[in-house]
Copies of this chain bind each other. A is one copy, B any other.
């Protein structure tokens, strides 16, 4: 689906949630090449401050781009930039809900700035901003 620039308003928001299972962590590790033992080695992870394996921070961040590319604005969106501050670890098996909220619209360039957050049990684990060009009807 696509929400065109002309139909986007300040405050518009969309969410995408996903449980980050062991299989997700393995596939993300395979695709990214990030085989850090804190994600893949339970014995190692138990000796870290996290006490267990955690999800890759960039996997959590990637849920934001899922919203941008498939929901708001959706297909045809051009991704210009993303910032992400990692506030808390996500334990494997937790469900992350990503949310984007429109905070700025640039009609000349069809640019949309979004506030982005990822939450686990209502707690912010990641926050940042996205900048995209939304598809236009014109």
Interface residues of A (CB under 8 A from B): 1, 16-19, 21-38, 40-44, 48, 53, 56-59, 61-66, 69-70, 75-76, 79-86, 95, 97, 128
Please name all residues of chain B whose beta carbon is closer than 8 Å to the beta carbon of A31 when the two chains form the complex. Answer: 24-28, 31, 59, 62
Instruction: Output the nearest chain B residue to A17 by Cβ-Cβ distance.
Output: B41
**CA A33 – CA B65 in complex, angstroms?**
9
**Distance in Å: Cβ of A121 to nearest Cβ of chain B:** 9
A21 and B22 form a contact (CB under 8 A): yes
Q: How far is the CA of A42 from the CA of B24 in the complex (A)?
A: 14
> Would you give the shortest CB distance from A128 to chain B, in whole angstroms?
8
A68 to chain B, nearest CB (A): 9
Q: Which residues from B are CB-within-8-Å of A25?
A: 23, 31
Question: What is the chain B residue whose CB lies nearest that of A80?
Answer: B86
Report whether B61 and A57 are in contact in the complex, using a CB–CB cutoff of 8 Å.
no
A56 to B86, CA, bound (A): 20
Give Cα A16–Cα B42 distance, bound, in whole angstroms.
12
Complex CA–CA separation, A42 to B75 (angstroms)? 14
CA distance A37 to B56 in the complex (A): 21
A61 touching B82, Cβ below 8 Å: yes
